[in-house]
Structure 1
């Protein structure tokens, strides 16, 4: 029973590290996972051991800024080959979140991806991959992918979003 609980915590930590795409402290992980620091520490140990024992392209490492999920060194060359030069991994993950969740409010996107999403949105709008429209109450903006996204990434369609599509002004 304890093993199943710890496995779920480790999986939750893995999801958080993937989605945030930046080093996170134990305190931040505990906050996002809604559990105590001791459980996070145990979950991190299990997750790091799991990654250490599998033949995976990813690893969980501790940096001076916290723990992160990253690509192992032997696979770093793929980043240069597969990631567009103009987009970093963080911006690509933000774009993926918009594509999968969109249209999504910029506020919800920042909650999902962190404050770096503000810069990512500016960059993605300037590159034409997303469009941004003010909400009718003016408090936030909706963001969603454009036709350029579909053409560039050779995607025909995405799963149906849970929020109605943004109307053109």
Structure 2
């Protein structure tokens, strides 16, 4: 049987979310006191190890997570998760681009303002001020095309629509 600290490491990894002491104790089938000691041991192991991971205590419990120093690497490797509303807003921009932000709001509602901010911060949409108005022109970026691999998808769509 592996040592308790190693077992807790596996539990935190497999659950993939913060766990309270009680939840960890239930999973490990031991008492809270033993879990506390093993967590201290595990946190100490990670503190002295040259590892990309760490065990931290959060308001929701204990978690095995990537160290903050790897945040930029994670952002470049892990695709951004978008909610349904933001995806629909992104689709509207991609289909109608360039589209005036005011027209987009008419189509998608006032929640689209927040979607646009999120999509700009993720690099999927660019915005430029209209020369003759107070609104902005919105369009998708190269990152959008790369992320959704449209260049690979579009040739097959073109051939299937020509058939």
Which TM-score applies when normalising by structure 2? 0.48
- Higher helix proportion, which one? 2
TM-score with structure 1 length normalisation?
Answer: 0.46
Q: RCO greater where, 1 or 2, for CA within 8 Å and sep 6 or more?
A: 1
